[in-house]
Structure 1
């Protein structure tokens, strides 16, 4: 049973070994960009020695594993002020949680084997795999396969891995995996407009009118899908009803490309993501993953608006003369 008076708990060794990495206690920089921050967000985003997802943070809070100044906290939605977290007041299973600055991802320039720096892997997802780490149907999991292969293991410490976005079960290609939940969420934000590029094989009659609609954006069953850049891989005229395209979007709505093409009477028969922001799949073999340097979002070039508005062509001199207002002449 937990001892509520002094905030100490019977330690749960498997959880501590999974979640905590050794880190010296030190004063923390401000993590508050607003007046208050939600408790689950503090635990999943702003800690030096606790590497867990938002969902796991919520589970631990509801289980009574989290205390603040000796009081058990059971609501993940509890809002905290900066002064509430001074002097090691926040603990998980009786262990002090060290806080860090929230500005930017964890330092990329650090000790190579540090568990605190942002680490990123590019994985080549296989068709038929799911990306979620927990599946009630026991389907093949990309994250579980990578973990079994040693991805995220630093010495005796195993990092908590999180995917950047998702791909549906039948989609293949590039998935980014990181140990930094805050970095993953920033990469996913539609407001950052990171470009996601796919190779798409479609079956059906592909017309210029349909291409124009995709480039302008469409609304399907009340969901607005913004403009996407679309380029046929072959410029030759062909009567084939199977064509390969390159499609780039700046959002990751669920089944976005499949839904848009289906709405226009086309069937996506293969979908492969080949890039995400400045990360490229290149020649990574299917099923493999390689660690790459973390790229700060503000420095990535493949972001921003896909289709920039074109300036109207300047009028010719004769058109300018004809557009002048009529001058009435008095006799």
Structure 2
């Protein structure tokens, strides 16, 4: 997209357009090797823009990685044709600044927790394809009595139609009572609604399903509905499962 030079600088450096005008007039901007001091200049796709010796990359070309603590009541989609709220509404500011951002993987409508966004297709592929074996950890709270026999059956997994074997990579009990229990569940294959299908098979009602980590990237104390921009190095932790 062709942009006036001051707008390009404002969008990609965080400065104001007025300050961008001063930078241009001072002769500190070079476009494709030519020094610029004309405010009427435009930047075209592919142009190399340098300010004070530093190359300025368009945010359309920059990769971005976002960690969101998804609340319940949002669908994991870029848009909804049925009027549902989407997770994109929670990162609207960044979605307007950067092009082609999308959620990586999914959390269903009533699930919550760690959800990543990016415009880096290669990163998303590595995060979601089963061959990369990235571990996702979930906290599951459910109603019912968790006997030793039932726990072992959940741990063993079930065959579920076309989905095949639904079986956690790891599972452990965090706490339990006669009427309620909480588990930590690790998955790697990312099958649709895997934990919910597994619990429903044993007539267990989930009250909380929250993803707390992807690889070595942890949700920690990020409040529900809030997000954090990650640098590429931190985002790579999510591939370290």
Query: How far apart in 2 are the matches of 1:190 and 1:170?
Result: 24
Aligned to 1:229: 170
Structure 2 residue ranges without an equivalent (≥5): 3-7, 9-44, 47-54
Q: CA deviation at 1:297?
A: 8.7
Q: CA deviation at 1:132?
A: 0.6
1:263-311 deviation per Cα after TM superposition (whole angstroms, max 9, x unaligned):
12211111111111122110011111101122489876752xxxxxxxx
- Asked whether the 8 Å contact 1:198–1:273 carries over to 2, the reply is yes
Change beyond 3 A, Cα 1:259–1:128: same
**Larger RCO, structures 1/2 (Cα 8 Å, 6+ apart):** 2
- 2:212 paired residue among 253, 274, 278: 274
1:48-104 deviation per Cα after TM superposition (whole angstroms, max 9, x unaligned):
xxxxxxxxxxxxxxxxxxxxxxxxxxxxxxxxxxxxxxxxxxxxxxxxx98xxxxxx
Change beyond 3 A, Cα 1:204–1:302: farther
- Asked whether the 8 Å contact 2:145–2:177 carries over to 1, the reply is no
Q: As a proportion of its length, which structure holds more helix?
A: 2
After TM superposition, the score normalised by the length of structure 1 is: 0.52
Q: Would you say how many aligned residue pairs link Structure 1 and Structure 2? A: 192
CA RMSD of aligned residues (A): 2.8
After TM superposition, the score normalised by the length of structure 2 is: 0.70
Q: CA deviation at 1:177?
A: 0.6
Query: How far apart in 1 are the matches of 2:201 and 2:160?
Result: 7
Aligned to 2:76: 131
- 2:108 paired residue among 168, 175, 194: 168
Q: As a proportion of its length, which structure holds more strand?
A: 2
Q: Does 1:209 align with 2:156?
A: no
Change beyond 3 A, Cα 1:128–1:300: closer
Q: Which runs of 4+ in 1 moved over 4 A?
A: 110-115, 295-302
- 1:220 paired residue among 129, 140, 160: 160
